[in-house]
A and B are shown apart, each in its own frame.
Chain A
Amino acid sequence: MKFTLSWLKDHLDAEASLDTIAETLTRIGLEVEGIEDKAVSLKPFVVAHVISAEPHPNADRLRVCAVETGDGRPVQVVCGAPNARAGMKTVFAPPGTYVPGLDKTLSVGTIRGVESLGMLCSGAELGLGEAADGILDLPQEAPTGEPYALYAKLDDPVIEINLTPNRPDCTAIHGIARDLAATGLGSLKRPPHPPVRGEGACPVSVTLDLDPLDRGLCPYFTLRLVRGVRNGPSPDWMQARLRAIGLRPINALVDITNYLTFDRGRPLHVFDAAKVRGGLVVRRAREGEELKGLDGRTYALTGDTVVIADDNGAESIGGIMGGEASGCDAGTVDVLIESALWDPVNIAQSGRRLGIITDARYRFERGVDPAFTLPGLDLATRLVMDICGGSPSEAVIVGEPPVIERVIDFPWTETRRLAGIELSRAEMKVTLEALGFHVAGTGDRVKVLTPSWRPDVEGKADLVEEIIRIAGLDRIEPKPLPRLEAAVGKPVLTVMQKRTRLAKRALASRGLVEAVTWSFIPHDDAVLFGGGGADLALANPIAADLSDMRPSLVPGLLKAAQRNADRGSADVALFEVGQCFATDQPEGQTIRAAAIRRGSATHAGAGRHWDGTADNVDAFDAKADALALLAALGVPTGGLQVVAGGPDWLHPGRSGTLQFGPKNPVGFFGEVHPRVLKALDLKGRLVAFEITLDAVPLPKHRPTKVKPPLVLSDFQAISRDFAFVVGRDVAAGDVVKAAQAAERKLIAGIEVFDIYEGVGIPEGSKSVAIAVRLQPTDRTLTDAEIEAVTGRIVAEVGRKTGATLRA
């Protein structure tokens, strides 16, 4: 919302400076976005008289001008404008001037050997947005030396406020003035607006052709004919104000409607009566009906939009935009002025659907003061008569203004209860009344009647807001929020919150770098990772490749790795801990932790190093990350199983599933499937793991923090090595499991220390070497006992895996 200072002062009797006004506006909730004061920004630009303009000795298109700038000492300026000529009045800027249209500061220049002490300017160079077909050509009576902003009446500061959608009353400069007056900064001017006494009935009838249930679409409609107007340009003062706030003057009749839209927040429409056939009908648009708007665009209408129609069809989109066919132009003699009320929700929806943003829509969708409908028509009529002449008819009035005033039962203590500030009743009452509220009663509770221009005020809390915003929020002293209990704080994080935090720190400690990638990924990527369902596709993605909610963190990380590789960081190790989506229900959302390693980015480090060049990453790097994460989370890994194979996006032979029993997989690790690499256009070796943190079993609740006692044996542990030859497909884990099963009591640990295939081992077989540690608890083992145990191990491993001891 933009307005000028002088326009505001039409409504506000105040001596306050521009700075004070701006500060107050922000303080009461009408946040000032910017102030443009051309009297300041264009100060160096003055009206100048070109005394002479001689051809430049060295350039055909340049002229050397002697310019009188007001101090009686003409300066020499080289000018290239085609219209530069002796005797003209134009605008001059001396060296040192910042020229907004060029975004540069002038200096004394020498142009083709001739000194130039300034510049003659076009409107565009002044930032006034006018076409630059030469320098400004001012009338002869323009006083030489006067600042141009002053001469051109550009010296009225323009204030722009960021208006929140709850304040339709401040879409009117009058409303802004009312708010300012309530602070005591000045007083609101309320010139009387006596009703217009029209002569004779308006010859054009108005019918609200709406279903009884639709009456709210246009509850109230007023119209008047003014005969015999002269519709030329509007007066200079009106044009200057409209231009200042960014509107283009059209003609007096149209300008008057725009003027009142801002002055009073009352959008109006004018029809050229000669172009209207028959009576006006307010109705839903017919399917397929079209209307060419005042903006020259043709709009396809539907029954959701309300139009004002005559015998020719739709002439105007109610409350949004008039039609070109019935618009007013220089030839208009009889004008129909419309002041009506429209349904905010319907206006918002129609405007959005049609893609029309107008000052009328902006106001009607926020809520226009119903009580000012007829006064608005009268005010417009009076302006038309003042500016264009003519004689008005009586008004046609159809429907009734809805009553939006409310009575609120208000205990004065509500301000202290909600705002924590003690204000006097007198102050609160003065504020409410200055804002147009009517306060009835004198006790602890009063009845407050809301004004017709404040549809946003619904209850007590709104009144408290009105009171404290005018009083100033800075008057509320901060007060500590008391603790709920006088006690040391309890831990606040849930298990999942702790896991999420711990997972991030644990993975980062493994040299992985945390990424935060988009929750939405390309549809094809989602499909590759088991997602892409219709219930998780965005209806309005911001870009085609940010279309589907991610089923996994891995595709985002893989793409990120490739982007880094493309930028020269080939060996990256990235992780993310974040949400993934299986369905659109809350239960379908899980928190996962995933990491990828690319190239040689192993735990030990990436790239070449004098102490041994890093190998490419393999599935075991991913497995190590996954197991380290589970360990960091404090998950008891006793029941954890690692089984071969994983989801489709992993290499079938180089991937594993981590599970607590076959029905409870918690995650996967492995090499990324070559087909996925190809589909995502990824290069290089990539391994990944992903664990669903929600799926990991919760630690058992223990009633005490005491750790189980430490049991140490006094007897010597011994270690025995076994090299088994087994089939190539036998899993080392099964060899270990079989050995473990052979002796439950004595075996304290088993390590796989060598895997070998090749010379000395039969084709199709491999050697698996394990070290078994035996720990007696009650006596030292005899050779015979050790023999017996090793025999059982060899037999059991042989029985379960077909292994033989390597010769």
Chain B
Amino acid sequence: MTDLDTLEGDLLRQVADASDEAALDAVRVAALGKKGSVSELLKTLGAMTPDERKARGPLINGLRDRVQGAIGTRRDALAEAALGARLAAERIDVTLPVREAPETRGRIHPISQVMDEITAIFADMGFSVAEGPDIETDDYNFTALNFPPGHPAREMHDTFFLAPDRNGRRKVLRTHTSPVQIRTMRAGAPPIRVICPGRTYRHDSDQTHTPMFHQVEGLVIDKAANIANLKWVLEEFCRTFFEVDAVKMRFRPSFFPFTEPSAEVDIQCSRKGGEIRFGEGTDWLEILGCGMVHPNVLRNCGLDPDSVQGFAFGVGIDRIAMLKYGMPDLRPFFEADVRWLDHYGFRPLDIPSLVAGLTG
């Protein structure tokens, strides 16, 4: 047992006993600092003879290395222990709820969503979107559309009137978006392919009628568009809108003053357990009206019915929203009940497109 062995034993014990960074550092200074015990021994090497140095040098240097190593190891152990203690103290309750994000809470009304769906489909078929005022003249809403004054067909529309003006003319709340067709035909030349979505108004109120509702109409005018094309457009629309592989549709002859020939269109569906499904079943459900634009309407827009032709159709937006998404009653659409909107509404980032699908 030499004095070096004794010193090393002492130092290593002190390192092992150091309980924190500060104590360990004190040991380091006492041993390896400028005046430390090991440093003092190292200084003695300079005064030694070469032989002595050869013998003592490795011993002293070895001592220094071992003490240094022990300090480093101890420091790592102390740091690890300190981190462990800190982490043990830093605990959160991950089950606490966070606030719902605004984009999770917000809702798009089904009417807006369905309008976006309809627009996506018809844009793909080359239709643009035309709009017009809600307050219309009698001419745009009726006369230009071949409803002669006094004709009983006008009574098919329960019309809202505004007060008569100085000349006794009274404006109406449009009963359909067909006036936009007139505005479009009068403003531009064929070929025309537009859809006209918007608010419409009729003096009617029950479970399936509200005094205000939404409609989208379509208009195609060119030199060849015919009923065969109309059938294709409507079948493609219904198939895509209802997101089924095929729909079966039934065209029934009907009457609208502004189309001739005219038809109403039923779509085949099943109604099992109160749920309507398209592309299957044996029931028929009326969903839209359509026809070839009446020659008188074309004339009223300055077009020659012998050289241009086309078709028009109209669909209730609220109605097809109900059919697709299963709302049983129309009235809550306009009651702004957040419970209904939260349930039937759509998330703001659910943007319908044909690329990603109309619904997610």
Q: Which residues of A contact B (CB under 8 A)?
A: 26-29, 31, 164-167, 344-345, 348-349, 352, 365-366, 416-421, 459-462, 464-465, 468-469, 473-474, 476-481, 483-484, 489, 492-494, 497, 501, 504-520, 534-542, 546, 549, 556-557, 560, 563-564, 567, 569, 572-574, 577-579, 581, 584-586, 588-589, 603-605, 609-611
Contacts and interface: CB of A to CB of B under 8 A. Distances in A.
Contacts of B29: none
A523 B101 CA distance: 38
Nearest to A420: B228
B212 A519 contact: yes
A510 B109 CA distance: 15
A578 B255 CA distance: 32
Interface in B123-165: 123-129, 131-135, 149-153, 155-156, 160-165
Contact of A419 (B107, B203, B261): B261
B107 A513 contact: yes
Contact of B341 (A420, A514, A520, A584): A514
A515 B348 CA distance: 13
A803 to B, nearest CB: 37
A421 B253 contact: no
B103 A464 contact: no
Contacts of B229: 420, 478-481
B220 interface: yes
A584 B162 CA distance: 9
Contacts of A517: 334, 336
B165 A418 contact: no
Contacts of B3: none
B25 interface: no
A416 to B, nearest CB: 8
Interface stretch (B39-47, B51-59, B76-84, B230-238): B230-238
Contacts of B222: 484
B358 to A, nearest CB: 15
Contact of A164 (B124, B211, B255): B255
Given A511-B102, A514-B108, A539 B170 contact: yes
Contacts, number: 270
17 contacts: A29-B254, A31-B264, A165-B155, A166-B255, A349-B150, A420-B226, A421-B227, A465-B253, A479-B229, A508-B347, A509-B349, A513-B105, A538-B161, A563-B337, A574-B336, A589-B135, A611-B98
Contacts of A557: 336
A461 B129 contact: no
Contacts of B211: 518, 520, 542, 546
Contacts of A483: 126
A97 B135 CA distance: 55
B316 interface: no
Interface string B105-119: 111110110001001
B275 interface: no
A477 to B, nearest CB: 6
**Which of A459, A492, A534 gathers the greatest number of chain B CB atoms within 10 Å?**
A492
A511 B106 contact: yes
B191 A581 contact: no
A420 B233 CA distance: 14
Contact of A514 (B101, B107, B163): B107
B250 interface: yes
Given A465-B260, A507-B106, A519-B199, A584 B161 contact: no
A473 B263 contact: yes
B196 to A, nearest CB: 12
Contacts of A574: 336, 338
Interface in B219-272: 220, 222, 225-229, 231-233, 235, 250-255, 260-264
B292 interface: yes
A54 B84 CA distance: 99
B355 interface: no
B197 to A, nearest CB: 10
Contact of A473 (B162, B191, B227): B227
Given A421-B227, A511-B106, A546-B211, A537 B99 contact: no
Nearest to B154: A348
Contacts of B278: none
Contacts of A27: 252-253
Given A560-B336, A572-B338, A514 B345 contact: yes
Contacts of A421: 227-228
B193 interface: yes
B135 A605 contact: no
Given A418-B261, A505-B351, A519 B100 contact: no
Interface string B178-212: 00000000000001010000010101110000011
A195 to B, nearest CB: 32
Nearest to A421: B228
A513 B260 contact: no
Interface string B295-313: 1000000000100010000
Contact of A516 (B98, B111, B125, B171): B111
Contact of A478 (B152, B204, B235): B235
A255 B336 CA distance: 54
A512 B294 contact: no
Given A464-B261, A515-B341, A509 B103 contact: yes
Counting from the closest, the 8 A-B pairs by CB-CB distance are A420-B228, A29-B253, A511-B102, A164-B255, A465-B261, A560-B336, A508-B106, A508-B348
Contacts of B163: 534-535, 537, 539
Given A465-B261, A584-B135, A479 B228 contact: yes
A172 to B, nearest CB: 17
B173 interface: yes
Contacts of B255: 29, 164-167
Nearest to A343: B150
Contact of A542 (B155, B171, B203, B349): B203
Contact of B106 (A365, A481, A513): A513
A407 to B, nearest CB: 17
A465 B333 CA distance: 37
A280 B199 CA distance: 52
Contacts of A492: 119, 123, 127-129
Contacts of B261: 418-419, 461, 464-465, 468-469
B335 interface: yes
A799 B233 CA distance: 70
Nearest to B106: A508
Given A492-B123, A538-B161, A586-B133, A516 B235 contact: no
Contacts of B231: 476-479
B250 A474 contact: yes
B342 interface: yes
B91 interface: no
Contacts of B228: 419-421, 476-479
Contacts of B165: 535
A497 B348 contact: no
Contacts of A28: 253
B94 interface: no
Contacts of B351: 505
Contacts of B86: none
A489 B124 CA distance: 7
A589 to B, nearest CB: 5
A509 B135 contact: no
A165 B152 contact: yes
Contacts of A462: 260
Contacts of A459: 295
A578 B260 CA distance: 34
B145 to A, nearest CB: 14
A600 to B, nearest CB: 12
A78 to B, nearest CB: 39
Interface in B273-306: 292, 294-295, 305
Nearest to A416: B226
Contacts of A476: 227-228, 231, 251
Given A164-B254, A165-B151, 13 more contacts: A164-B255, A418-B227, A419-B292, A464-B260, A484-B222, A489-B124, A489-B126, A513-B105, A513-B106, A520-B211, A589-B134, A609-B99, A610-B97
